[in-house]
């Protein structure tokens, strides 16, 4: 099953016999959470999920958005009505990063049927509502490990033995600017692969063959072990989703640059060359 769904496909499925649970994960880096926007108008039936508070643990040694405690995450998903045998569709405001973070967490913890609304809320042409849904309690119980997860040491090793992609903007990879973390640059051996180039001007993913060509040019082959990191494990999840569309199963370094750069013993490379 493709990990993305169009607005028209979602509308059709929502009227069917097995309607998906819809999660609204509007979020912006450094800004307020999207709850106010959600309360001002959202797709009927959508349940708001707060990325910073519910899709991440407390910031610290594990980075700015460490993975949440699985049991706490499971409780959030059950309150949202998520069931193991019911499809889940996730959307954000359109960038796709926050939705992909929710998609990755659900997939990593074992949910078999999760998709991201391609292009986000901006593609929705139906009505919006201000009514807050009260879904029946779900039964989803997280079992972590269904997708690949890297720690700092594993990411460093993969940069040498396979393909480690840096999903941040190219200027952050090169170390020319660093607006958030302690120092700029990249993990030695990592290849620059800005996730923003996986989508078109409307925020929709490029066709699968175009994504496959892009990642192939970076060194992703049929037998290549691939990993991804970003600033704090959010846009990196979007890159993992793009890689899945292209036919590659990739692991996520969830701590990402925010964790790596906070440890002064870790080496930092700068400039356009991976090493």
Active site residue 175: no
DSSP calls for the chain: --SEE-HHHHHHHHTSSSPPEEEE----TTS--THHHHHH-B-TT-EE--HHHHSS--SBTTBSSPPPPHHHHHHHHHHTT--TTS-EEEE-SSS-HHHHHHHHHHHHTT-S-EEEETTGGGG--S--B-PPP-PPP--------SS-EE-HHHHHHHHHHSEEEE-S-HHHHHTS--SSSSS--B-TT-EE--GGGGB-TTSPBPPHHHHHHHHHHHT--TT--EEEE-SSSSHHHHHHHHHHHTT--EEEESSHHHHHTT-TTS--B-SSS--
Angle at 7 between CA 119 and CA 82, to 5 degrees: 95
Set 23, 190, 230, 241: catalytic member: 230
Nearest to 230 by CA among 117, 96, 68, 90: 96
The CB-side HSE value for 218 (13 A sphere, CA atoms) comes to 30
Enzyme catalytic residues: 230
């Amino acid at each position: 099953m493709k990990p993305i769904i169009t607005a028209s496909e979602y509308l059709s499925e929502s009227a069917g016999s097995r309607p998906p649970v819809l999660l609204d994960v509007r979020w912006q880096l450094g800004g307020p959470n999207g709850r106010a926007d959600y309360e001002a108008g959202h797709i009927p039936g959508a349940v708001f999920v707060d990325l910073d508070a519910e899709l991440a643990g407390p910031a610290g040694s594990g980075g700015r958005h460490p993975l949440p405690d699985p049991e706490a995450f499971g409780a959030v998903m059950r309150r949202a009505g998520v069931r193991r045998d019911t499809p889940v569709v996730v959307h954000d405001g359109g960038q796709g990063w926050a939705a992909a973070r929710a998609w990755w967490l659900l997939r990593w913890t074992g949910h078999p049927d999760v998709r991201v609304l391609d292009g986000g809320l901006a593609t929705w042409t139906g009505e919006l509502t201000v009514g807050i849904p009260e879904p029946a309690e779900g039964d989803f119980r997280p079992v972590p490990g269904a997708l690949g997860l890297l720690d700092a040491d594993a990411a460093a090793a993969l940069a040498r033995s396979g393909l480690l992609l840096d999903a941040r903007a190219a200027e952050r990879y090169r170390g020319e600017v660093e607006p958030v973390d302690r120092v700029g640059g990249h993990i030695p051996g990592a290849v620059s692969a800005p996730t923003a180039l996986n989508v078109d001007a409307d925020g929709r993913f490029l066709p699968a063959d175009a994504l496959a060509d892009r990642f192939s040019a970076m060194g992703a082959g049929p037998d290549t072990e691939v990993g991804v990191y970003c600033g704090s494990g959010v846009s990196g999840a979007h890159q993992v989703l793009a890689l899945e569309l292209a036919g590659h199963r990739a692991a996520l370094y969830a701590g990402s640059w925010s964790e790596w750069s906070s440890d002064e013993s870790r080496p930092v490379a700068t400039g356009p060359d991976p090493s």
